[in-house]
Amino acid sequence: MSDHRKDDRAKRLAQIREALGSRSIVLIGLMGAGKTAVGRRLASRLDLPFLDADNEIEKAAGESIKEIFAEHGEAYFRKGEQKVIARLLESGPQVLATGGGAYMNPETRDAIKALGVSIWLKANLRVLMKRVQRRDHRPLLATGDPEAVMKKLMAERDPVYAGADITVESREVPHDVIVGAAIDAIAAQLGCGNRSGRGASTAANDKRAR
């Protein structure tokens, strides 16, 4: 990459940070969508802190998500999740990855709308199942038919996720390609100039006119 292109990219990233102000970039989507992996790289590119809401919940509770579900149930977990995310949103700017069910809470959606820019990492069933089968820590998939559960979650949650400021397709490509698509979409949402030129396909919902 030429020095001129490096300077242009650095200027564009600085414009994004300036336009964000104290707001957070909040990644939403189903388990397996790549929120943590993409979020870490996105934060690095934007020179912002990265936080994973699930990790912060575990720190606050002194238990793993799996243990919280088993000992206290989902309703208890969701209540704590809402409180933790509300607290984290007060400390922007940052890139914040949230759990799959977090955005289903109306109060959390309102908080994200007020204090963040939301990005739905949207993946198809095949991609999601391939990714989640690599690990066994997903409480909602602790069933005899994880694919049926995932289909049900997609039917319930995708229409709500669609209300995010931005939608980026999470595909089986290198994470940096998804990050490039996300940066292009964020820049468009915030009015920060030209595309990054990475050539990634993205379904970016520019909702500034709403």
CA separation for the pair 70, 59 (Å, rounded)? 17
CA separation for the pair 18, 86 (Å, rounded)? 22
Closest CA to 208 of 166, 180, 176, 171: 166
Q: Is the pLDDT of residue 135 over 90?
A: no
Contacts of 72 (CB under 8 A, 6+ apart): none
Return the pLDDT at 66.
87
Domains of the chain, start order: 3-190 (3.40.50.300)
As a whole number, mean pLDDT of residues 138-159 equals 82
Count the residues in the chain. Answer: 210
Q: What is the pTM of this model?
A: 0.86
Q: Is the pLDDT of residue 137 over 60?
A: no
Q: Is the pLDDT of residue 195 over 80?
A: no
